[in-house]
Structure 1
Amino acid sequence: MHGSFHRLVRIYIAILAAITVLVTVGAAFLQLRAVNTTLQQKQSLVLNRVSDTVNRYQEMASDMAGQITATSGNVTNLETFFREPLADYANFAIDQSRQTGQYYFVPTEANTALLRNPSISALRIQLQNGEKVYAATQANKGGQVHRGKYTISGFTLTEALNNPQTLANVGMLALTFSQTPLKRDLDQINTNGHIQAVVVSGTDRLLFHFSDGQVGRTEARVVTKQAAAGQLASLLKSGQYQLHQQSLDSGLTVYTLMDQAAHRQQEVRLVLPILAVGGILLLLLILALLFTFRNYQAQLADMVTRMHKIGGGRLTMQLNDHGPNEDLNILADGVNDMLAEINQYVYEIYQLKISQQEANMKALQSQINPHFMYNTLEYIRMAAVAAGQRELAQVVFSFGSLLRNNTDQQATTTVGQEVTFVEKYIFLYQIRYPDQLAYQIQIDDAVRDVVIPKFTIQPLVENYFVHGVNFAEMNNAIEIRAHRVGRNVAIAIINNGKDLSDEELARVNQKVVQPIVTQPESIGLQNVYARLVQFFGESVSLTVQHNAYHGITTMVTFELPERQGDADDSSRASGR
């Protein structure tokens, strides 16, 4: 017992460990998948947000360049702005407005553009092969012209200035955008996944860089340095970063980078608490199991010891039924009651032997009595025949057949045999009431050999004589019909006796199909239906209904089992 109990405890511990490990691993897996899915979504969101902003800024530069060179007059105006002193250019702009009806003054246009677009920190215009650069900032919206080439840097997007008539390039527009609004939008995403975003021009120039709060300065500096040096591709090939990228129509490329090593460390930090909780929970469950089974084992060991002594013949010993485990106490009570009954049985064994002898005598008597009654009835029938009382002889014969059928222990019969038995039952009533009762039986040959449970049709006929017949009248009639349609058998018991109301019929039909919950007092409709369902299955139907004779028709239908139906079909085929 000791080894079996410990083996059972080990099995329980193994099951607990397996379940706890599966739950813990499943929880960790689901948590990691959820975090990774969220992180992928945030990385895609950062990529889309940066791409949308860059595209919007590029469209802004394109629209502004289109406005600057909308007409050839605007191009001439721009060239005059760079060529003449500001006072002369102002006079030129006034004269041009008188001719075209539109006043175009470059510093005014720049001022308006900076006011409308606070995200633009600087606006620069430089003509093709020119030595002057016009620059306007948010601090100096009117701007001024400087000598020398303009070096593009920062978050600067350029757009060519083309003559609308000749399509020749006349200069370049450069808009430098503040990185603060975009970085503020990206900070609101709260990625916290070691994600960086980089915008690179077609000439590998670094335009924009963003890193979330998880990225250290050193790591961010490495990415910006590599991107500024045009070596971002080699950094990406190292496999250190998980990369998403999107190429824009303007020739710019947006990258989002996530540090793989840092992401794995973050996953470890996420999983460790779950594994720790799972381990602690498993330890607590094992300790609780061992503590619970310790008391159980002690009480069970005491019970086994006492059972061995009882098995050795000490039947007066009792098991301890006051232990800490209620189920073992119940078991001990049961064993103690069993021991008390055993002692009582031992005491009464002599009386039981005498009673057994008497029972054997009664059993022998029960076998002799029916045989004796059959012989007596047969003697009476023969005496009636000898005396010329053939009707009396037929009555005795029918009654003897009924008695023999009732005492027969067989559970099944055939439709033909059952109808023969029922006909003798009706015949005895007709002998008593010769002028008040008529009956008719129509049984197709196709159903005579169908096997059915015994006492299937007789209770349905008996219902008529118990509840429906009225021997005070002269027109009592009952008819039994049985025929077969395909694999189905239909049996109808039709009478012109006492009718029932619709409510009574509904109540009877409802009760017929209900399960039998108590031992029935007689073999009624409910019992017949239950035995037919057990024999033929759910195809059975038993209903009580009105008929054209102002009486009751009891209809029974069922589908034959495949084996019985095939046997009947083959027998009819051979008969043909």
Structure 2
Amino acid sequence: MRMFKIKMIFRNLIKYYRTISIDKKFLAVSYIQIFIPIILIGVLSFRISSDLIFKKYVGYTSDVIKTARLRIVDKINELNSITQDILYQTELYNVLDKSMKNVDYYDDVASLTNKFRKIILGHHDVQSIGIFTKEKKLCIVDNTSKEVGLDEIVPYQISLEKVYDIAAKGNGKPVWCVALLKRDKESKVAVLITRCINNPQTLKFEGILAVMINTELFDKTFSELVAEKSQAIAVVGDNIFISTKGEMNKEKILKFMSQVKNKNGVVTYTSNEYIVNILPIKQVDWYIVTSIPVKVLFRDIDKLRMWLIVLCFLSFVITSAMSLMLSMDFLKPINAIVEATKRIRKGEYKTIENLDRKDELGILIDNFNSMVVKINHLINSIYKEQITRKEAELKVLQTQLNPHFLFNILESINWLAQLNGVSQISDVVIALSKLLEVNLKEEKFLTLEEEIKYITSYVSILKINFGEDNLKLEVDVDRKALKLRIPKLLIQPLVENSIFHGIRPKGFGKIFVGGYIWNDKLAIIVKDDGVGIPPEKLKGIRQDLEGDNEVFLEQEERSYTRIGLVNVVKRLKLIYGRDASFSIESLPQRGTTIKIEILLDALSRAVEESLQEFSGEGEEEDV
């Protein structure tokens, strides 16, 4: 069923294509040849450019965050080394030891504080250093230029127990942690390095070292690496954004981070709004994240798209103009040839004006003009000869009919006169005068209405011979058909055949004459309910009607059966050619039906030709 529908659609498309004019076909082909390559090139260029820009961005971003990771890892290692250096200070262990023994350790704390202060001053990335036990803080040194230090964090926002739990995870190694501090209505991120302090000799736990890192070191790292203002970069630890440059959707970033499985390479996520790159920092279990809006990244692609649209529009305008010019150049001579052929069909044999072309169309026009000249010559030289011969044949055919039917009429008058002198004789004479008036007219065509009146007069005369009740005539003609002009005495021979060869052997009967306009044709029907025609004889009649040779009948068949029909058919062929048809059907004891069909255009054309011939003959007589 689906294949059938597809075939029907394909056939309808082909049918529609064959109905449209050549100029539309030419434009359609031009558009297809130009726009398909342009669209394909545009789409491919757009896709390739988009992919190249995307790959270039991913590659550039990968290099940026890898460089940022290297610098952050270097800082991490450097700060881890500082915590290791702190563990080498003897004052540290003296303070821890004396605090455990509840001995005064003020001098040791002062010495240790001085060393911590030197470390802070020498390393701007260190914001605060503190020593704690599980129960209390022993020593804290802050960078006085910073707002927040360890003395404000521990144990007020991060308990000593929590600090110990974090440090214990490292088993003596440094552990990095991130905390979100609440200060008034604002939140601030704190990055701590915690480390358990074990006795060098006994390796037993004695305290906790906490170093608070200045988060500005991440901001400096990002500012040196990121040049694109629209690109955002951040370092994230413990699901907290430690440092962020630019705007990014933090909720979606955290969602993407939860899906990261590759702990080594760059992972890229693409959505309708953002392109996100994530790179893990294994040393501290952090992530470096970059994000850029898709519309910013593809800003150049949008420009390319606009240029492609403009290019397509300009191509449409230019190609339309060129296609119209070319189509007009091709169609002008083609239309000239088409119009000339239409004029020839109407009988106007005129040449095409010189279009000054030397191509194939010019050669075609020259050959067409040459053909028209030759046709004009043939028409002028042979036309009168053909008309004269045609007229002679028509007159011969008509003269073959007139003597016989006049003989029959005179026989009826003679029969009536021998019977007795009655008033009916005058009616017969009047009808006869009408018939003779029509026969003597020089007009070759009569209206169907005049032909019907002629047949009515003719049948009224024959009723005297047959009897009023034994011969009936029924007429049914369309009103529009009454004014159509047909050859004179075209129907009368058919009616006469029906009466004398169909009804007379039977003794009574009815003749039906019909005229109808149907399917741009005039249909004339003559039907009787007489004895009909035997099949063998009907076959012979049809053969005579189909042949073009003269019909020679035996003496016993000079009953006018075939000669009348053959004459009618030959007149139709001479006047209308293939625009007229003749058919005969008959059944023994059932009757005979004869049907003539003539195209309406052929009827009017034959009358016009007759008028032209008549006017031409008049002019010759005047000369």
Computing the radius of gyration from Cα coordinates, the structure with the larger value is 2
Instruction: Indicate whether the TM-score tops 0.5.
Output: no
Compute the TM-score of the two structures, normalised by the length of structure 2.
Answer: 0.39
